[in-house]
Amino acid sequence: MTQPVRTATAAPADERAVFKGAALPWLFLLPTLAILAVFIYLPALRTLKLAAYRANVILGTEKFVGLANFAELLQSKTYQQVALQTLIFMLLTVSIGLLLSLALAWLASRPIRGAKTYRLLLIYPYALSPAIAGTLWLFLFNPEIGVVNQILGSLFHVKPRWLDDPFLAFGLVTLAAVWKGLAYNIVFYLASIQNLPGDVMEAAEIDGASPAQIFWRVAFPLLTPITFFLVFTNVVSALFDSFALTDILTKGGPYYHNAGITTFLVYQLYQDGFVNFKTGAAAAQAALMLAMVGFISWIQFRMGEKQVHYGN
């Protein structure tokens, strides 16, 4: 005799697991909230407070100046140039990096011999720290002993001064940042491409769509959620993770007009806060950078989310 099959049924709403008391969930969250408070929230509040003071770290004195630090920064020709350079750098690294990583991920997803090796080589730069990546590029593009100049000298009899010319230095730091971020973007794009619905792609191919049409009309709309995520992470990376590359490759130089051509907001903050000991100005810059990230995020969610397609 066969045994009757028992089917699992959902528990009634009043019998489901719930916290006994309102304090218990906060007790579980307490360790996380304590760590966030000590290492994020309290330093952020201290930074906002410090932005309202003109402090002398050596003498240990503070003078309340209100919004004077912000006013001086916004009126400073140097800070205006640094902000513009940072904006251009961010736009270039995000746009070039995402387009190039998407193209490489699409090619790496094709069923070809040695695909796993190609994918490993593409993802390898992700394992390098920004400091090591900057050192590699410094040796490659050294004007005297760099491999790139040796090849250019033997083939075309030219040896560009990559680190001395303002525009070459800016382009070099931009390319280094794009290369460093490629692996991170490729990992996400490759995983997303491999999870695209095969029946939809096959249907488009049967209907006579060309490979370009399949990519732009079918695959790319399905990749917009991960693209939306990567745009935000790449913007944050361009604003905050460019310090090591800049410091190792150019030290913020060479000088152009009012500031170094590769001096970006995070490097200017470091110079004012830890080299010139202008802690009030540095704190004000940190607050402005936070406001900039918030504004860019608001613009992205306000305008970019409309282009995101969450298909089944």
User: How does pLDDT run across 242-251, given as a tens digit for each residue?
Assistant: 999 999 999 9
Q: What is the pLDDT of residue 176?
A: 95
pTM: 0.87
Cite the DSSP H helix spans in the chain.
Answer: 23-36, 42-50, 68-75, 77-108, 115-123, 130-140, 147-156, 166-194, 198-206, 211-213, 220-222, 224-240, 243-249, 265-270, 279-303
* Domain span including residue 208: 72-307
Q: What is the pLDDT of residue 202?
A: 86
Q: What is the pLDDT of residue 1?
A: 47
Identify whether 212 is part of a domain.
yes
Identify whether 46 is part of a domain.
no
In degrees, rounded to 5, the angle at the alpha carbon of residue 300 between the alpha carbons of residues 296 and 306 is: 165
Residue 77's CATH number: 1.10.3720.10
In degrees, rounded to 5, the angle at the alpha carbon of residue 153 between the alpha carbons of residues 149 and 154 is: 120
Whole-number Å distance between alpha carbons of 249 and 83: 20
Whole-number Å distance between alpha carbons of 111 and 311: 25
Whole-number Å distance between alpha carbons of 132 and 110: 31
Whole-number Å distance between alpha carbons of 282 and 51: 8
Identify whether 155 is part of a domain.
yes
Q: Provide the number of structural domains found in the chain.
A: 1
Residue 16's identity, in one-letter code, is R
Q: What is the pLDDT of residue 283?
A: 93
Q: What is the pLDDT of residue 201?
A: 84
Burial call 181-194: b when 16+ CB within 10 Å, e when fewer: bbbbbbbbbbebbe
Residues of the chain with pLDDT under 70: 1-17, 59, 304-307, 309-312
Identify whether 239 is part of a domain.
yes
Q: Give phi and psi for 54, each to the nearest 5.
A: -105, 105
Identify whether 208 is part of a domain.
yes
Identify whether 52 is part of a domain.
no
Q: What is the pLDDT of residue 198?
A: 84
Q: What is the pLDDT of residue 99?
A: 96
Identify whether 148 is part of a domain.
yes
Asked if 125 and 182 count as a contact pair (C-beta separation under 8 A), the reply is yes
Identify whether 23 is part of a domain.
no
> Tokens 């490659």 — which residue?
140
Among 249, 268, 272, 269, CA closest to 170:
249
Q: H or E element: which one contains 64?
A: strand 61-64
Q: What is the pLDDT of residue 306?
A: 66
Residue 158's identity, in one-letter code, is V
